[in-house]
């Protein structure tokens, strides 16, 4: 009697870099600290078979929002180079991956596919993973909500609605989807919506904005579902109160996270700008150091206290139009659903010349 089946995403994390910068900074610090105790020409030391493989959302800076306990331990980098190579080769490759982070790559927290002993095992789901789901015909009555707002987290928002409505009829199965965001040769990407770039910078402010307000939408839906939404018609005042509550909570978390980024970036700078270091000044490491310094510069420009992304969100909160659109979209879901189901019953949905095989 299952109506909707989804499978999880493996490979590159399915979220914006704007919410996984802290975890990567932790891991970069560990990587550089480890390198500082080694020699450039020595055999690469980053092939530890005991390095942990990520299988949950440990890439996310605000893991507690999703009900997971957050580990403060940084992740070891597992070098992907094969054959004979040195620490310098690893550093060079890692520095390129660090820039690939802004295109969605998380070099230290790739999601690996793991399943329990019984491959056919399923569990109740709470997220619809884009491109990795199966609906029965009856499931067509569900639709991606609030799509016109063009926010991130639409799949999780739909998932919270399905979890409330379908319960055990909405399940997650062992159907992994390999999610790759970058081109393997240089860890870049030909196109990402919400990203603008030039030779010396990458601007994530639009994607950052879509992520923040997408989070506000998602966790508002989650909270509203606890009191019956959407099957229970809620007053506009109730919706408004909850959405404002979530906005305040998330903005506080985003600002806290921003302060942590600044602190961690300062710590990393001690490795990149030392008075004297084994990697300082040598021509063989200049490109790698240039990449790492550029990484820190892009982090500062996008997530620092004076970044356009943080300033824009702050301005939108004070001005109020963005949250008003979210509140109205949530409240108008009832009407949108009626229209959608009327469309499904119409000849537009099933042409008169359609024949069942």
Does residue 109 contact residue 23 with C-beta atoms inside 8 Å? yes
Lookup result for tokens 């993973």: 129
**Residue 26 and residue 31: Cα distance in Å, rounded?**
9
Closest CA to 15 of 218, 259, 190: 218
* Residue 172 parent element (H or E): strand 170-179
Closest CA to 35 of 321, 263, 213, 278: 278
Roughly how many angstroms between the first and final C-alpha of the chain, as a whole number? 23
Residue 221's pLDDT is 98
> How much of the chain exceeds pLDDT 70, in percent?
87
**Residue 208 and residue 73: Cα distance in Å, rounded?**
25
Residue 227's pLDDT is 97
Q: Is the pLDDT of residue 155 over 90?
A: yes
Does residue 220 contact residue 243 with C-beta atoms inside 8 Å? yes
What pTM was computed for the model?
0.90
Counting Cα atoms < 13 Å in the Cβ hemisphere of 190 gives: 4
Written as six digits, the tokens of 173 are 């199965």
pLDDT band at 346 (very low <50, low <70, confident <90, very high): confident
């Amino acid at each position: 009697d299952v109506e909707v089946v989804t499978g999880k995403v493996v490979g590159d994390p399915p979220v914006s870099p704007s919410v996984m910068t802290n975890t990567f900074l932790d891991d970069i610090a560990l990587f550089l600290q480890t390198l500082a105790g080694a020699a450039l020409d020595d055999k690469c030391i980053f092939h530890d078979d005991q390095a942990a493989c990520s299988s949950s959302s440990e890439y996310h800076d605000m893991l507690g929002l999703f009900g997971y306990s957050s580990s403060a331990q940084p992740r070891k980098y597992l070098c992907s180079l094969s054959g004979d190579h040195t620490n310098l080769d690893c550093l060079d490759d890692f520095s390129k991956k660090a820039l690939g982070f802004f295109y969605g790559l998380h070099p230290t927290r790739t999601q690996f596919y793991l399943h329990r002993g019984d491959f056919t095992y399923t569990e109740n789901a709470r997220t619809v993973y884009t491109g990795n789901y199966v609906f029965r015909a009856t499931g067509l009555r569900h639709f991606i909500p609030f799509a016109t707002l063009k926010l991130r987290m639409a799949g999780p928002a739909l998932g919270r609605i399905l979890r409330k409505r379908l319960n055990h009829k909405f399940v997650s199965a062992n159907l992994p989807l390999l999610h790759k965001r970058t081109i393997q040769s240089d860890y870049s990407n030909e196109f990402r919506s919400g990203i603008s770039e030039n030779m010396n910078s990458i601007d994530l402010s639009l994607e950052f904005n879509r992520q923040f307000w997408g989070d506000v939408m998602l966790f508002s839906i989650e909270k509203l579902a606890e009191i019956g939404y959407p099957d229970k018609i809620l007053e506009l005042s109730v919706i408004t109160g909850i959405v404002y509550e979530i906005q305040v909570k998330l903005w506080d978390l985003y600002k806290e996270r921003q302060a942590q980024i600044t602190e961690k970036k300062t710590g990393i700078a001690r490795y990149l700008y030392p008075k004297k270091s084994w990697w300082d000044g040598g021509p063989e490491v200049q490109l790698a150091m240039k990449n790492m310094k550029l990484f820190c510069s892009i982090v500062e420009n996008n997530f620092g206290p004076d970044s356009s992304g943080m300033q824009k969100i702050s301005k939108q909160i004070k001005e109020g139009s963005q949250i008003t659109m979210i509140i109205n979209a949530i409240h108008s879901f009832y009407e949108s659903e009626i229209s959608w189901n009327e469309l499904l019953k119409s000849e537009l949905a099933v042409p008169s010349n359609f024949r069942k095989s």
